[in-house]
């Protein structure tokens, strides 16, 4: 290797790269200024300080009585409902996404176009924010946890099926070829060569999605799709900060605990 | 030979399942298999109990799906004349996402530097910051938005603040993880020639971590643009407010226009951002 030559050419590329870096920085700055100009700052009202203080006070003294009420509609039951919504939503999407995953996996069909179409469908599903899906389902089946389950179930297909199809694309083709060689049908090949290879990864991704869904499920109630979000938005509207504090605490605990359990399970599966 | 005939007539499928093969070769297979069956049974029981608990049954789906069809039918054709009205809120949505992402990324830099073990060996400093980051990340963006709307009033500022906190949590976490993975060679060399801490960070750490940082910034921006489209549901500005209004007034054709425009914007931004990210890394 010619050291001198190497140095001079690399210094040129470094200079070019530096120029590009500054251009990018400038571009980001311009976009940032543009975005800051458009937002109106009515936020800094005189009441903000008082409200912030009362929120802080509310968080310091959570409404512990709300944790368990004998007549129902308490924190524990709402949290349980949130958990159940995300479990069922994940389950629904884990089942619904299997055909989509095989559709989008490039090694499952000989045609080039067919998996491409599947991938495109999945990315369209992915761009739909789940709140919009939730609102549509609320309009269709009425407010409640059912709309939440459907929203999570449909929205999660986009990501889960993409991950699943990538798993299918990454399998060892050996067993599949062996089965085809000894005359297995297509379904048998999938059952005995593909599925055993992908199941651990499927389960792990489903659990991962469950972790995401539990966060979403806490917000679904803000638009009326069941779960802890509904009492939270009511408490926010009447400015019952002690209750807001205890609900937020409950959400954080729920997310931390489910994250912990789910990641332990995932580690065991793989 | 036996499995070959089984495959051909396909009826006795269980006899050639991988788990039974495992049984023959391994004495422990039996307990493992029953354990697996028990796990699946437990799983099914959980699902059934869950669905009974919140009254979500396939029957309801059966009843609800035609309603969904009616809704979709009312959405078409979309009301294109509504498009000029929703441009301004759409731009506001993008602005909220941009401002929230960048303002969140700025405090994320020191937070990431302080929580990376190889740059800040002091556990008493890195641990509290990491805990704070973990706490911030457990709160979904829409919850932040709902809280900030209550504090600062209805408007895009609350949405921007919500995205700021949310982005701070993600970007700081991802960045400190990539900071911990940087090559220690340059840092050691600089320590050896007597560079101080700030010099090490500026000349040793930042050049290595910058591409990853910008890539995470863009990734968070992709998430935030999706989030910003729904912030309006809780009154935090952006296009979501109009969507909520049109749905409330049963103007599904207008809602369809909004949704289509949202999808288009998200797709374009996603595509651009992903291709930039691919170039960066």
Over the stretch B207-224, which tens digit does the pLDDT of each residue have?
888 888 989 999 999 999
Residues A9 and A136 in one domain: no
Residue with tokens 């629904």: A92
Measured CA to CA, the distance from residue B265 to residue B225 in angstroms comes to 9
**Looking at the domain assignment, is residue A126 inside a domain?**
yes
- The parent domain of residue A80 ranges over 59-170+200-269
Least confident among A248-257, A261-270, B10-19: B10-19
Residues A161 and A217 in one domain: yes
pLDDT of residue A125: 87
Mean pLDDT in residue range A153-157: 91
Mean of pLDDT over chain B: 83
Residues A75 and A126 in one domain: yes
pLDDT of residue B2: 39
Residues A207 and A147 in one domain: yes
Q: Total structural domains in chain A? A: 2
Residues A16 and A124 in one domain: no
Give the closest-approach CA distance of A84 to chain B in angstroms.
6
**Looking at the domain assignment, is residue A46 inside a domain?**
no
Choose the closest CB to A85 out of B18, B54, B141. B54
pLDDT of residue B251: 86
**Could you tell me the pLDDT band of residue A185, with boundaries at 50, 70 and 90?**
confident
Which of A23, A29, A37, A39 should we substitute to test contact with B (largest number of B Cβ atoms within 10 Å)? A39
In tens, the pLDDT along A52-110 reads 788 788 778 888 888 777 777 788 888 999 999 999 999 999 999 999 998 888 887 77
Q: Is a pLDDT exceeding 80 seen at residue A22?
A: yes
pLDDT of residue A41: 63
**Could you tell me the pLDDT band of residue B4, with boundaries at 50, 70 and 90?**
very low
Q: Is a pLDDT exceeding 80 seen at residue A39?
A: no
The total number of residues shown for chain B amounts to: 281
Residues A230 and A158 in one domain: yes
pLDDT of residue A45: 61
Residues A33 and A126 in one domain: no
Check B155 against A42: CB less than 8 A apart: yes
Which of B46, B143, B209, B272 should we substitute to test contact with A (largest number of A Cβ atoms within 10 Å)? B143
Mean pLDDT in residue range A237-248: 86
**Looking at the domain assignment, is residue A95 inside a domain?**
yes
pLDDT of residue B183: 87
Residues of B within 8 A of A234 (CB-CB) are: none
Percent of chain A whose predicted confidence (pLDDT) is above 90: 22
Residues A117 and A85 in one domain: yes
pLDDT of residue B22: 46
Q: Where are the alpha helices (DSSP H) in chain B?
A: 2-9, 18-25, 29-53, 58-75, 83-115, 123-138, 141-152, 156-180, 184-192, 197-199, 206-231, 239-248, 252-280
**Looking at the domain assignment, is residue A52 inside a domain?**
no
Residue with tokens 């959405």: B75
**Could you tell me the pLDDT band of residue A40, with boundaries at 50, 70 and 90?**
low
User: What is the Cα Rg of chain B in Å?
Assistant: 27
At a CB cut-off of 8 Å and minimum separation 6, what does A197 contact?
A171, A172, A175
Q: Is a pLDDT exceeding 50 seen at residue B1?
A: no
Distances (CA, A) of B153 to A52, B135, B145, B146, B231: 12, 24, 11, 10, 13
Give the closest-approach CA distance of B269 to chain A in angstroms.
11
Neighbours of A177 (CB within 10 A): 12
Mean pLDDT in residue range A18-37: 83
Name the nearest CA neighbour of A182 among B17, B23, A174.
Answer: A174
pLDDT of residue B102: 92
Least confident among A125-129, B26-30, B91-95, B206-210: B26-30
Q: Is a pLDDT exceeding 60 seen at residue A3?
A: no
Question: Contacts for A110-117 with beta carbons within 8 Å, 24 or more apart?
Answer: A115/A165
pLDDT of residue A258: 92
Which of B152, B229, B263 should we substitute to test contact with A (largest number of A Cβ atoms within 10 Å)? B152
**Looking at the domain assignment, is residue A175 inside a domain?**
no
Residues A73 and A147 in one domain: yes
Q: At what angle do helices B156-180 and B83-115 cross, to 10 degrees?
A: 40
pLDDT of residue B29: 62
User: Domains (ranges, CATH) in chain B?
Assistant: 2-56 (no CATH), 79-280 (1.10.3720.10)
Give the closest-approach CA distance of B260 to chain A in angstroms.
10
Give the closest-approach CA distance of B100 to chain A in angstroms.
9
Residues A21 and A67 in one domain: no
Choose the closest CB to B230 out of A43, A85, A129. A129
Check A45 against B51: CB less than 8 A apart: no
Check B96 against A48: CB less than 8 A apart: no
**Looking at the domain assignment, is residue A194 inside a domain?**
no
**Could you tell me the pLDDT band of residue A8, with boundaries at 50, 70 and 90?**
low
Mean of pLDDT over chain A: 84
Measured CA to CA, the distance from residue B275 to residue A154 in angstroms comes to 27
* Token digits of residue B17: 């399942």
* Token digits of residue A195: 């599925």
The total number of residues shown for chain A amounts to: 270
* Token digits of residue B147: 């809280």
In tens, the pLDDT along B21-77 reads 444 445 556 788 888 889 889 989 988 888 888 877 777 777 777 878 888 888 888
pLDDT of residue A42: 60
Residues of A within 8 A of B8 (CB-CB) are: 183
pLDDT of residue B8: 41
Measured CA to CA, the distance from residue B281 to residue B277 in angstroms comes to 6
Residues of A within 8 A of B98 (CB-CB) are: 31-32, 34-35
**Looking at the domain assignment, is residue A27 inside a domain?**
yes
Give the closest-approach CA distance of B138 to chain A in angstroms.
6
Give the closest-approach CA distance of A138 to chain B in angstroms.
9
Mean pLDDT in residue range A39-47: 62
Q: Is a pLDDT exceeding 80 seen at residue A50?
A: no
In tens, the pLDDT along B119-151 reads 888 888 889 999 999 889 888 888 889 888 888
Interface check B257 vs A, CB under 8 A? no
**Looking at the domain assignment, is residue A182 inside a domain?**
no
Q: Is a pLDDT exceeding 60 seen at residue B9?
A: no
**Could you tell me the pLDDT band of residue B11, with boundaries at 50, 70 and 90?**
very low
In tens, the pLDDT along B240-252 reads 888 888 888 888 8
Residues A23 and A81 in one domain: no
Check A215 against B157: CB less than 8 A apart: no
Check A236 against B158: CB less than 8 A apart: no
Q: Is a pLDDT exceeding 70 seen at residue A18?
A: yes
Measured CA to CA, the distance from residue A201 to residue A98 in angstroms comes to 13
Residues A64 and A126 in one domain: yes
pLDDT of residue A85: 92
Interface check B223 vs A, CB under 8 A? no
Least confident among A19-23, B39-43, B235-239: A19-23
């Amino acid at each position: 290797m010619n050291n001198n030559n190497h140095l001079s050419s690399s210094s040129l590329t470094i200079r070019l790269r530096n120029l590009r870096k500054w251009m990018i920085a400038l571009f980001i700055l311009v976009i940032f200024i543009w975005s800051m100009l458009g937002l109106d700052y009515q936020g800094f009202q005189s009441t903000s300080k008082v409200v912030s203080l009362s929120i802080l006070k509310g968080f310091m003294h959570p409404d512990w009585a709300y944790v368990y009420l004998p007549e129902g509609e308490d924190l524990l039951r709402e949290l349980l409902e949130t958990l159940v919504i995300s479990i069922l939503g994940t389950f629904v999407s884990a089942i619904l996404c299997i055909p989509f995953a095989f559709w989008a996996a490039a090694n499952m069909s000989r045609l080039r176009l067919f998996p491409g179409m599947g991938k495109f469908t999945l990315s369209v599903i992915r761009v739909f924010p789940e709140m919009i899906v939730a609102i549509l389902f609320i309009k269709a089946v009425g407010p409640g946890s059912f709309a939440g389950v459907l929203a999570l179930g449909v929205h999660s297909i986009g990501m889960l099926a993409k991950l699943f199809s990538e798993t299918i694309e990454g399998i060892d083709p050996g067993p599949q070829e062996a089965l085809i060689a000894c005359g297995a049908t297509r379904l048998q090949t999938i059952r005995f060569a593909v599925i055993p290879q992908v199941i651990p990864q499927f389960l792990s991704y489903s659990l991962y999605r469950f972790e995401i869904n539990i966060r979403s499920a806490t917000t679904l109630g803000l638009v009326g799709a069941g779960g802890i979000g509904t009492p939270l938005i009511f408490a926010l509207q009447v400015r019952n900060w002690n209750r807001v504090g205890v609900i937020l605490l409950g959400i954080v605990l729920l997310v931390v605990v489910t994250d912990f359990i789910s990641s332990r399970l995932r580690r065991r599966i793989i | 030979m036996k499995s070959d005939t089984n495959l051909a007539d396909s009826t006795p499928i269980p006899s050639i399942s991988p788990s039974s093969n495992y049984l023959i070769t391994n004495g422990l297979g039996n307990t493992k298999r029953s354990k697996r069956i028990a796990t699946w049974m437990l799983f099914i029981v959980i699902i059934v109990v869950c669905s009974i608990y919140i009254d979500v049954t396939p029957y309801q789906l059966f009843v609800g799906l035609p309603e969904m069809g009616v809704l979709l039918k009312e959405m078409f054709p979309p009301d294109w004349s509504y498009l000029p009205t929703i441009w301004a809120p759409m731009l506001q949505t993008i602005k909220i996402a941009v401002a929230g992402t960048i303002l969140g990324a700025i405090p994320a830099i020191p937070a990431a530097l302080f929580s990376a073990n190889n740059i800040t060996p002091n556990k008493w400093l890195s641990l509290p910051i990491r805990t704070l980051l973990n706490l911030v990340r457990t709160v979904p963006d829409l919850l932040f938005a709902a809280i900030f709307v209550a504090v600062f009033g209805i408007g895009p500022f609350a949405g921007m603040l919500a995205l700021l906190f949310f982005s701070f949590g993600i970007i700081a976490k991802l960045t400190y993880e990539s900071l911990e993975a940087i090559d220690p060679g340059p840092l050691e060399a600089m320590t050896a020639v007597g560079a101080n801490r700030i010099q090490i960070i500026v000349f040793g750490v930042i050049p290595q971590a910058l591409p990853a940082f910008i890539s995470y910034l863009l990734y968070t921006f992709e998430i935030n643009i999706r989030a910003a489209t729904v912030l309006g549901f809780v009154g935090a500005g952006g296009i979501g407010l109009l969507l909520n209004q049109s749905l409330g007034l049963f103007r599904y054709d207008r809602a369809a226009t909004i949704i289509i425009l949202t999808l288009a914007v998200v797709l374009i931004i996603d595509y651009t951002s992903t291709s930039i990210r691919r170039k960066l890394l």
